[in-house]
Structure 1
Amino acid sequence: MIKKAYVVGTADTKAAELSYVHDLIEAAGTPTVLVNVGTKGGEDVADVSAATVAACHPEGPATVFVNDRGRAVVEMSKALEAYVLGQEDLGGIIGLGGSGGSGIIAPAMQALPIGLPKVLVSTLASGDVSAYVGASDVNMFHPVTDVSGINRVSRKLLANAAHALNGMMTHAIPESADDRPALVLSMFGVTTPAVQAITDELSSAFDCLVFHATGSGGRSMEQLIDQGEIAGALDITTTEICDLIVGGFLSAGEERLDAVARTGIPYVGSCGALDMANFWSPESVPAEFKGRTFYHHNAQVTLMRSTAEECAQIGRWIGEKLNACKGPVRFLLPLRGVSALDIEGGAFHDPEANAALFQALRDTVKITTDRQLVELDMHINDPAFAAAAISSFKEIYTEKDS
């Protein structure tokens, strides 16, 4: 099947810009489809009408065409997501928008597989783009001027974006003979020795994909698991769950561990960096945490020690998630410390808090042949811990899992 570039935007307000990008990509030799997601016209330039997109909404087009701009944007976004997921010839996608257009287009891009070319030209691209990129690989271009007409600036920058998408679609990714099954691993600076030791040992047999546990890292890891490309997980650093429970800035959301449960992949997890919630500079820490134990990681990052009560909540939350897992699970409890800071004499050494975490896991996890807690009288960064994690993974992994 010939793959096509899909050019998406609100043609009622951005017909000239969409047509310009469409024509550049076509002139480069890539078949192109212009998709309108506006609600007030512009159909004369579109290959796919707004009505066609709206018809893909799970609740029907009437849900999209409402007399409320904010609601229309939200509902058109849902319709677009359903539409693009149904296009078998979609080989790449480029969207143009301001705040409304970006809000419509970005969720649809995030729903597409990682690796499929995605370019979003957005007036919001010079700020916090986390809501638009999400856990995916959306490439955002800042248009400098508003997306409002073809002028001496937009002519260059829209062309750059168009040619970028065309280049991604037409230049083949180098072939690789690597047929190793893929593993995902989660890491933080304070668990690096453990994860590096694991990858050093397993990399000859597995393609080890390491994710930085910063919220987006956990979400990206689980998106890949959902895509069916992952043979197993060594989720050593579950710190994003601490941020979720405590209120830190690096949460991966309530959905953390759901992809593991859905897919049933072999899963080895642990308590890496559950001793800390993450904030930015000291000024960013909410006033409610005044008087807590902090560690200034650098000028931009402030870490806060989780309490015994919070650790108990974290343990119960993880335990319930593990109980929902269909596949084999081994969750490791490093009884002598869960991070480089949680060690005797360290800034976050708190045996009482750790004991609350471990006991909550013991009380919550329903032990079966496939689902087990593994208690280890060692620190998470001890070489013996890495060896135990590898042993646990080999115990539950079989060739059929890949």
Structure 2
Amino acid sequence: MPKKVIAVLATLDTKGQEAEFLREQLEALGSRALLVDIGVMNAPVTAADLTRAQVARAGGTALAALKAGKSREAAQPVMSAGATKLLLQRIGRGEVHGVIGLGGLQGTAACTAVMRALPYGVPKVMVSTVASGDTSSYVGISDITMMFSVGDILGLNSFMRKVLANAAGAAHGMAQVKVAVKARAKGARPLIGISNLGVLTRGTMLAIELFRKRGYESIVFHAVGTGGRAMELMMKQGIIGAVFDYAMGEISDELFHGLRAGGKERLSVAGTLGLPQVLCPGGSEHLGILVSVPHQLPERWKEHKHVWHNEVVLAPRLNAKELKMVAREVGARLQSTRGNAVLMIPTLGTGSYAMPGGPLNDPKDDRAYFTALKAAVPTTIEIVERPLHAEDPAFVQEAVDRLIALIEAGGTRTGRRAAARRRA
């Protein structure tokens, strides 16, 4: 079997010994190392397979210009861009099968910027001095494995050799795995993405089972910001081919600065790509607000219905005026959808908090919200209203049936046909 190639990202002026040790460990395991030098300022202490000059040139700037600037901060984006370009080319040709990064604060930022741009499924191991803290800005929505180096990565010793040997073993082992993440082959059934919140979990579990019975696999994303963004990145990479976008709380939180903010692109990707999608405003009637003092209600939300999701996460219900703002935002984000989509509205509540008997139930404001939502979405989207709550089995069953019908129709439903059926 051909040897797997593991790229080692490091500044070879400060991490050259460690990178060379990784090369030795990978080769002892049966892989081959590709040393990629992302350093700029001082001379490398070991030879690179992809030199810093090559990396800088691929990033759009000559190495001499970066050195003249005498700023690692200014050089980092160029070196990260160059390493990304070179690795993507090699991954696309099947010449690189995994990546290990070495770094402190700046090195971790540089290496993980590269890793976040690589496809899902490519092994990514980041050996970092900052991996024991909050790594969310480094990982983002990628499948990066963060490994705490414990000691600083400055010189070899008996402990650091073990840390680096473990990293080599991890990347080597991952690269041997034969299970692959692949884009859907033409004619194959798509993987279905489902967005979910805790107020929709029962419905989501039912949807998973219903899709399974019809021969479809699904992947669920916790719609707390990172989840929705990851789902849409998988759409772009061709991994997900159809969407049950059951939860829209990421849009509400984006507008009102909540925990679940999904970013400016959220809800627009499936329509842009023309993927079959069934949408539901699940969980969008309330926000997720992190408080600094347990169970202390912020002044901003004292006039709103609310429930505590846990001791430090408040879920205030939006009022009619605020919900109309959410509706307009949803409509604006769906303007790229030109058919092949259904919006299902559960008029008895958008989740377990909002259903009859729930702590955030408010039929009057729901009616105002749904009216605004229907007015805001483009006419190319079919609108279906049902006198059910979002987790009602009949509602979930119809959502599943409608998405499968869109998939199996081959995406041929036009905007005109969808508009003609808006009142279904």
User: Do the structures match in fold with TM over 0.5?
Assistant: yes
* 1:158 alignment counterpart: 164
Contact 1:322 1:329 (8 Å CA) reproduced: no
* 1:197 alignment counterpart: 206
* 1:144 alignment counterpart: 150
Q: Deviations over 1:118-141 (max 9, x none)?
A: 101111211111111111110000
Q: Deviations over 1:96-115 (max 9, x none)?
A: 11110111111211111111
Does 1:21 pair with 2:33?
no
Does 1:388 pair with 2:386?
no
* 1:97 to 1:275, Cα distance in 2 relative to 1, 3 A: same
* 1:345 to 1:115, Cα distance in 2 relative to 1, 3 A: same
Letter in 1 for 2:83: L
Matches within 5 A, 1:309-328: 309-326=321-338, 328=340
Q: Deviations over 1:28-50 (max 9, x none)?
A: 11121000001123174211111
* 2:55 alignment counterpart: 53
Matches within 5 A, 1:186-265: 186-204=195-213, 205-265=215-275
Letter in 2 for 1:165: A
* 1:144 to 1:299, Cα distance in 2 relative to 1, 3 A: same
Contact 1:282 1:302 (8 Å CA) reproduced: no
TM-fit CA distance, 1:213: 1.3
Does 1:12 pair with 2:24?
no
Q: Deviations over 1:22-80 (max 9, x none)?
A: 22112211121000001123174211111211112257767755333322223322232
Once residues 39 and 373 of structure 1 are traced to their aligned partners in structure 2, the CA distance between those partners, rounded to angstroms, is: 56
Letter in 2 for 1:214: V
Does 1:127 pair with 2:136?
no
Secondary structure of residue in 2 paired with 1:194:
helix
> Which 4+ runs in 1 deviate beyond 4 A?
58-65, 284-288
* 1:258 to 1:174, Cα distance in 2 relative to 1, 3 A: closer
Out of 105, 121, 137, the position equivalent to 1:99 is 105
Contact 1:246 1:306 (8 Å CA) reproduced: no
* 1:82 to 1:311, Cα distance in 2 relative to 1, 3 A: farther
Does 1:73 pair with 2:82?
no
Once residues 132 and 157 of structure 2 are traced to their aligned partners in structure 1, the CA distance between those partners, rounded to angstroms, is: 20
* 2:419 alignment counterpart: none
* 1:175 to 1:62, Cα distance in 2 relative to 1, 3 A: closer
* 1:96 to 1:308, Cα distance in 2 relative to 1, 3 A: same
Once residues 112 and 47 of structure 2 are traced to their aligned partners in structure 1, the CA distance between those partners, rounded to angstroms, is: 22
Unaligned runs of 5+ in 1: none
* 1:306 alignment counterpart: 318
TM-fit CA distance, 1:173: 3.2
* 1:85 alignment counterpart: 88
* 1:253 to 1:59, Cα distance in 2 relative to 1, 3 A: farther
TM-fit CA distance, 1:262: 3.0
Q: Deviations over 1:231-278 (max 9, x none)?
A: 211010121112111111122211212331332110111111002211
Once residues 226 and 198 of structure 2 are traced to their aligned partners in structure 1, the CA distance between those partners, rounded to angstroms, is: 16
Moved more, 64-73 or 35-44: 64-73
Out of 358, 362, 375, the position equivalent to 2:385 is 375
Once residues 373 and 138 of structure 1 are traced to their aligned partners in structure 2, the CA distance between those partners, rounded to angstroms, is: 39
TM-score by structure 1 length? Answer: 0.91
TM-fit CA distance, 1:92: 0.4
* 2:35 alignment counterpart: 34
Secondary structure of residue in 2 paired with 1:310:
helix
Secondary structure of residue in 2 paired with 1:380:
coil
TM-fit CA distance, 1:214: 1.9
Once residues 207 and 241 of structure 1 are traced to their aligned partners in structure 2, the CA distance between those partners, rounded to angstroms, is: 26
Secondary structure of residue in 1 paired with 2:15:
helix
Q: Deviations over 1:261-304 (max 9, x none)?
A: 33211011111100221133552889562414332122353322
Contact 1:36 1:46 (8 Å CA) reproduced: yes
Number of equivalent positions: 398
Once residues 69 and 190 of structure 1 are traced to their aligned partners in structure 2, the CA distance between those partners, rounded to angstroms, is: 46
Moved more, 89-98 or 236-245: 236-245
TM-score by structure 2 length? Answer: 0.87
Contact 2:52 2:63 (8 Å CA) reproduced: no
Q: Deviations over 1:112-167 (max 9, x none)?
A: 11111110111121111111111111000000111111123212111111110011
Once residues 27 and 231 of structure 1 are traced to their aligned partners in structure 2, the CA distance between those partners, rounded to angstroms, is: 40
* 2:416 alignment counterpart: none
TM-fit CA distance, 1:363: 2.0
* 1:169 alignment counterpart: 175
Unaligned runs of 5+ in 2: 183-187, 412-424
* 1:34 to 1:64, Cα distance in 2 relative to 1, 3 A: same
Aligned alpha-carbon RMSD (Å): 2.5
TM-fit CA distance, 1:343: 2.0
Out of 271, 283, 295, the position equivalent to 1:273 is 283
* 2:373 alignment counterpart: 361
Q: Deviations over 1:317-347 (max 9, x none)?
A: 1112222124511111111100101023321
Letter in 2 for 1:289: R
Contact 1:261 1:321 (8 Å CA) reproduced: no
Contact 2:121 2:181 (8 Å CA) reproduced: no
Contact 1:188 1:273 (8 Å CA) reproduced: yes
Once residues 268 and 174 of structure 1 are traced to their aligned partners in structure 2, the CA distance between those partners, rounded to angstroms, is: 28
Q: Sequence identity of aligned pairs in percent? A: 33
Letter in 2 for 1:366: P
Contact 2:3 2:30 (8 Å CA) reproduced: no
* 1:289 alignment counterpart: 300
